[in-house]
Amino acid sequence: MPVAVITGASAGLGRALATALAARGWDLILTGRRAGPLATVAAGLGGAATAVTGDVADPAHRAQIAGAASAAGRLDLLVNNASALGPTPLPRLAALTPADLIKIYDTNVAAPLGLVQAVLPLLLRSDAAIVNVSSDAAVEHYPGWGGYGAAKSALDHLTGTLAAEIPELRWYAVDPGDMRTAMHQAAFPGEDISDRPPPETVVPALLRLVDARPASGRYRASSLLAEVAHQ
């Protein structure tokens, strides 16, 4: 069976993708910071998932993930979905402290690269794909989103450079668009975000990448979903 590592898998897009891959017969290594919700997700997947609780910004936790992947014997897909929004309500960039910016970069940039480095031999052995979850804030400029957007822009650049350096693998930075998630709600405290689509609607776009394996690059989920609709 193919094996995937999904970070930030206790809720939102990570949980939705894990559910879809488990239904396809994949074995999963799921990570997240909240032990209870992560264990609930893993238990609901009928034995297809191993839960590894921890913070991807912690090198020791990344080593645990790599160990679980090694025990599985292969790794066909790595999804760097865990993200850090930063302080909320979102401060304007002029008020964002350097310490908070470093924390945002630790989770959104350094951790994905560190995890890639930790499991790279397994990825190469399986001709794998790597999906780094980006954001429209990486290319657009919104008040309050400066730290998060800068980190996602750096993640996009990291993805493209890895694709140039290691062309044997497929490297994807994916902008999922707005979703009805806890993180998006945290960005808009007290506001009604029920008009945003649930993360399950984005999953077919990610599966399109897994199935079609197009050229490495940056993709918008909306464009991938249009391709799925025209199949």
Q: Catalytic residue numbers?
A: 148
The answer to whether residues 194 and 212 touch, using CB atoms and an 8 Å cutoff, is no
List the one residue out of 88, 85, 83, 96 whose CA is nearest residue 189: 88
* Spatial distance between the Cα atoms of 194 and 211, rounded to a whole number of angstroms: 30
* Spatial distance between the Cα atoms of 38 and 36, rounded to a whole number of angstroms: 5
Residue 31 parent element (H or E): strand 27-32
* Spatial distance between the Cα atoms of 137 and 172, rounded to a whole number of angstroms: 17
Token digits for 43? 């238990």
The answer to whether residues 185 and 166 touch, using CB atoms and an 8 Å cutoff, is no
Q: Cα–Cα–Cα angle for 206, 212, 214, nearest 5°?
A: 90
The answer to whether residues 33 and 57 touch, using CB atoms and an 8 Å cutoff, is no
